[in-house]
Amino acid sequence: MIGYAYAAGDRRGSVRANAGKIAEYFSLAPGLLGRVMDHIETDERPQVVLLQNTAPEASVGAVTFYSSVWSKSYARVGAAYGAVHRDFHYQCFFVAIAALVEVGCVRVRIENPMSEHPWRRDAYICLLEAVRNVRSNMNPKMTVHLESGTYDARMVQQLDDNELDFDLQEHRPIGVSMHIFEGLNMRTVFVEKSEVACRNA
């Protein structure tokens, strides 16, 4: 089954333009998904929402939307296109991908969290770390394909064989609060620097 992970907003402070089409696919009321993505982008803490299609014939089994670098929660820890906040990106990627794997997605397509900009190298490393650690802890057969964007000409679209180029960190604890928001499965991510998270675990 295929799952998608998307940033919820863009650099103009707008939610995704295709929110209505995605909402229709998941049989959501018009405007609901837009409100949820607006909440994801304006909340003080990063959020991930899971949408699921349980129909056996569904071409897309689930989609997660996560807080982008343009969100209010990212502004609390770093500048939108300044130095990459590694813990924010790693934790959002891990929670978003893990939610997809939890509901049975083994092929995941993921979009650049810096929508409309190239990937930053550190953000890409965070994605590699999250993918490796989801595989190690949940499903070793899960594959990930980049939906858009590169940080340089050598960056591959398929992540399976690219880990040896980077020094990757082990999984670190992530605080997650699961709750229902507007009737949807929402996960609040409590971003901490890795050494703080390990100390508080």
Token pair for 39: 């909440």
Count the helices and strands in the chain (H runs, E runs): 6, 7
* pLDDT at 191 > cutoff 90: no
Question: How many domains would you assign to the chain?
Answer: 1
The mean pLDDT value of the chain amounts to: 82
Per-residue pLDDT band for 36 (boundaries 50, 70, 90) equals very high
Range of 108's domain? 2-200
Q: What is the mean pLDDT of residues 124-147?
A: 87
Identify which has the larger pLDDT, 43 or 110: 43
Distance CA 1, CA 191 (A): 29
Query: How many percent of the chain have pLDDT more than 70?
Result: 81
Which pLDDT tens digit goes with each residue over 150-174? 555 445 444 555 555 666 777 677 8
Task: Give one DSSP letter per residue of 117-177, joined into a string.
Answer: SPPPHHHHHHHHHHHHHHHHHT-TT-EEEE-S--SSTT--SB-TT-GGGS-PPPP---EEE
Query: In CATH, what number is assigned to the domain containing residue 10?
Result: 3.40.220
